[in-house]
Structure formats: structure tokens, C-alpha cells
Amino acid sequence: MTSLVDRYVFTALRRVPEKQRADIDRELRASIEDAVDARVDAGEPRDAAVEATLLELGDPDRLADRYADRASYLIGPELFPAWRRLMTMLLSMVLPLVVIVLVVLRSLDAPSAGSVIGGMVSSVITVGVHIAFWVTAVFAVLERTGVTAGGLRGGPWSLKNLPRYEPRGLTVTQLGAAIVWPVLMITALVLQQFTFGDEPVLAPANWSFWWPYLIVVMALDALYAVWVYRLGTWTHTVTVVNAALALAFAVPVIWLASTDRFFNPAFFDFGAGADEALRWAGFGVVLTFAVFLVWDIAEVAVRAERLRRGLPLKVPGTGV
Amino acid sequence: MVCDMTMDATLAGHLQELRRGTVVVASLTVLREPGYGYSLLEMLSAAGFEVEANTLYPLLRRLESQGLLASEWNTDEARPRKFYRTTEQGEAIAETLRTEWTRLDRAITDLDTPGSPR
């Protein structure tokens, strides 16, 4: 039968690197015996002395961690901020995008409210867990290979790393988004005609004029973003150009949707309730683009007007 | 008003942080005369250092791997023991740490003395 001391020492040694085991085994046993002897000399019975000594040494797993001098954390304070930034970005921006794409693709096979909601829930969980797991796994490996935050950034932190909070003009990120978004929309518009299922989602008759027209307007939107970025400020000219572009895009879309010429009826031809679904989809498009139109025009106009009057602009996300 | 238990925990945390490095200085100083784990533990607690066995034993091995302590097994007695001794390098580092300790002590005393130049 193994004694209490054996059980303690074995448990601690299990988690210590193998080449140190023999030496730590001898040393730890000698130290325990020394302590037990001291207690026995002071008048304690032997069994009680062993128990008290081992209790004082505490959890053998923690002792093993200290012997092995290893980090008892997955991601340390050095890399944690980078981990949190990346996780926030991926979960708040990439996750919704991926989920939307997956749900659209899946609902094209079997369009029903149940399958869309079920598909959304399962994609959020699956994709979210994958993102969280792989990011954390990579950071845990980086932590153990001695990569520092400076190493990730490509140099020690300096004043150049401070973001610019210019309320004027577009930031590089905003410019990027303003260019990527039309490109994505154009791609989606072309792909829905050929790729998803047998029938296109949007009315194919509009390829004679309206869809190419919208593609041109979206391309102009990207050019407009470049122009505003280089201008570096918001003027009334910008307000006018922005309003013209927004109207040029939203008005035809709203008109097409409200006259049932936006979606392809053949795509919605899945039996009972198809007409109803088509009407609701059309209504959704009208509402979305109407809100977008008003908000977009007003937002740019307010910015330009505040700048003209010399009023301070808000710096997004700082509360200032 | 912060409740007493939180205050006790706060104090315990700060005390632990303040004492963290002192065991290293004390060990390197004491081990100019060779000693083994348990003897050092006894000596340090007798001298007023609150150190636990599960901190001290791994610490000795770490200081050895850093080259500040050297070790040797003594098998002359019935119970074989691993004896540690401060190396020259360890002594040099201990000297620097003791100087730093004195400097900090003086600096804190100066801050605490009213009317002293800051």
C-alpha cells in the first residue's frame, strides 16, 4: 500500500518534466521527512505530523507548476489585449458577415422561415465556436513560443501607433469599407443571377436596364468615397453629391420594389404563402432603402453644416 | 465605506507584493553557508521572513538553474540531502539587491519624514 507521502510525491511528480523527476523526488521526500521529524520532536504523533506537513505544502498540482516554472494561464497579460481586440473584431464583424452569407446560401435551397432561423442559430454557434477556438489556440501557442506584443506589432509601441481621431474627412478604414461595400454588392448582384439555385433571386427582366444602372451607381459610390477621402473635409458640395448618389440608388430600388418588379416571382414560387412572402420582401426592401436614404442624406448634411458653422464634430466611440 | 474583509484582502495582496522579492535576497545571503531546503526554511522563518515551503523549494531550483546557486547531494548522513550554496555570481547579484533594498528603505523614510527635501 502506498503511504500518504508516496501519494503526495507521485501526484506532484506526474506534472513535472521527466528529467527533473528523480532529483525532485529525492529532495522533496527529504524535505518532507525533515519537517515531519521536526514536528515529532516537538511532541506531535507521527501520523498527525505527516498530515500537517503535507497540508502545509498544499495542492501538489500547484507545487508541480512552481517546480516546472510554467505559466498557469492560457494567454498572459502581454498578449491578452491583442487577443481581445482580434476576438471583438472577428465576432462583431466577420461572424455576422459569414452567418449572413451562409444563411442566404442555405435558405436558397429550402426557403422557409423555420430553416432560415434554424440555419442562423446553428451557423452563429458553429462559426462563433470555430473563431473563438482557433484564435485562442493560436494565441496560446504564441504565448508559449515567447512572442511578445511588440513582436506581433512589428516593433515596440511608439507614438506612431496612436490612432488619428480626425473628425474631418474619412479615415482609411472608412474609405476601405466604402470601397469594399459596393464591390460586395455588385458581386452579389451578379452572382444571384447565375450561382444560387435554378432561379435568380431578383427579377431578371431588369438586366435590360435597371441592374446595370445600379452597378454604375455603386461604382460611382466608390469613386465618391475616394474623392471625399482626398478632399479631407465635408462641404456642401459633398452634401449635394452624396444626396444625388443616394437618390440615384434608392429611388429606383424603392420604385421597383413597390411595383413588384424587384424580386423574381419564379424564385418565390414555392406554393402556399408565396405571394405573401413576395409582398413582405418587397415591403422590407422599400422600408430599408427609405430609412437608408433619409439617414445617409441627413448625416452628411449635418456634418457639413456643423463644419461650416465651426461647431465641433463628435469623435466616434470616444464620447467626446 | 469599504468593508473590512475587502480591506484585509487588499492589505494581504499588497504585503505579498512587497515581500515577493525579499526571499530571493535572504536566501542568497543565508546560503553563503551551504544549507538544504528545510534548514533554510527554518532559518528564514526564525529571521522573520514569512515564506512557505511550496514557494521556497521551487525557488531554490530556479535560482540554481539561473546559476546563482550551486547544489551538491550530501549522502554522508542517513538522510541524503541536497545542499545549496551561493555562487560568486549569486553573491554579486545579492549584493546589488541589498544595495537597492537600502536605497529604497532610505527613499521611503525620506518621503515619510515631514519637511524633508523631495
DSSP string, A203-269: -GGGGGTHHHHHHHHHHHHHHHHHHHHHH-S--HHHHHHHHHHHHHHHHHHHHHHHTT-SB-TTTT-
Predicted confidence (pLDDT) per residue in A51-73, tens digit: 999 999 999 999 998 888 777 78
Weakest mean pLDDT among A28-42, A55-69, A94-108: A94-108
Q: What is the pLDDT of residue A167?
A: 61
Instruction: Choose the closest CB to B54 out of A30, A63, A69.
Output: A63
Amino acid letter, A119? G
Contact: B37, A26; criterion CB under 8 Å: no
Alpha-carbon torsion angle B7, B12, B13, B16, nearest 10: 160
Q: Exposure pattern of A24-43 as b/e (b: 16+ CB <10 Å)? A: beebbbbbbbbbbeebeeee
Q: Distance from B114 to chain A by nearest Cα, in Å?
A: 38
Contact: B57, A28; criterion CB under 8 Å: yes
Q: Distance from B100 to chain A by nearest Cα, in Å?
A: 26
Q: Is the pLDDT of residue A316 over 80?
A: no
**Smallest Cα–Cα separation from B40: which of B56, B21, B64, B63?**
B56
Q: How many Å apart are CA A22 and CA A69, to the nearest integer?
A: 17
Is the distance from CB of B111 to CB of B118 less than 8 angstroms? yes
Across A15-26, average pLDDT: 89
Question: H or E stretch including B73?
Answer: strand B69-74
Q: Is the pLDDT of residue A89 over 70?
A: yes
Confidence grade of residue A280 (pLDDT, cut at 50, 70, 90): confident
Confidence grade of residue A178 (pLDDT, cut at 50, 70, 90): confident
Residue % of chain A over a pLDDT of 70 = 88
C-alpha cell of residue A84 = 481581445
**Smallest Cα–Cα separation from A56: which of B43, B38, B60?**
B38
Q: Does B36 touch chain A (CB under 8 A)?
A: yes
Contact list, A54 vs chain B (CB under 8 Å): none
Confidence grade of residue B60 (pLDDT, cut at 50, 70, 90): very high
Sheet holding B35-36, edge to edge: B35-36, B81-86, B69-74
Q: What is the pLDDT of residue A314?
A: 66
Confidence grade of residue A304 (pLDDT, cut at 50, 70, 90): confident
**Smallest Cα–Cα separation from A111: which of A276, A221, A304?**
A276
Provide the 3-class DSSP secondary structure of residue B81: strand
- The residue among A161 and A226 whose pLDDT is bigger is A226
Q: Distance from B37 to chain A by nearest Cα, in Å?
A: 6
Across B57-82, average pLDDT: 91
C-alpha cell of residue B83 = 545542499
Mean pLDDT of chain A: 84
Contact: B36, A30; criterion CB under 8 Å: yes
Contact list, B57 vs chain A (CB under 8 Å): 27-28, 31, 63, 67
Task: Please name the residue of chain B whose CA is at the shortest distance from the CA of residue A12.
Answer: B54
Q: How many Å apart are CA A54 and CA A138, to the nearest integer?
A: 38
Q: Is the pLDDT of residue A192 over 80?
A: no
Q: What is the pLDDT of residue A313?
A: 66
Contact list, A30 vs chain B (CB under 8 Å): 36-38, 79-82
Predicted confidence (pLDDT) per residue in A218-257, tens digit: 999 999 999 988 888 888 888 999 999 999 999 999 999 8
Task: Please name the residue of chain B whose CA is at the shortest distance from the CA of residue A28.
Answer: B57
Q: What is the pLDDT of residue A317?
A: 60
Q: Exposure pattern of A246-267 as b/e (b: 16+ CB <10 Å)? A: beebbebbbebbeeebbbbeeb
Q: What is the pLDDT of residue B33?
A: 93
Q: How far is CA A46 from the centre of its chain?
A: 59
The pTM of the whole model exceeds 0.80: no
Please name the residues in contact with A71: beta carbons below 8 A apart, sequence gap of 6 or more. Answer: A143, A144
Mean pLDDT of chain B: 89
Q: Does B79 touch chain A (CB under 8 A)?
A: yes
Q: How far is CA A44 from the centre of its chain?
A: 61
- The residue among A225 and A272 whose pLDDT is bigger is A225
Q: What is the pLDDT of residue A196?
A: 58
Q: Is the dihedral of CA B62, B67, B68, B72 positive or negative?
A: positive
Q: Is the pLDDT of residue B116 over 60?
A: no
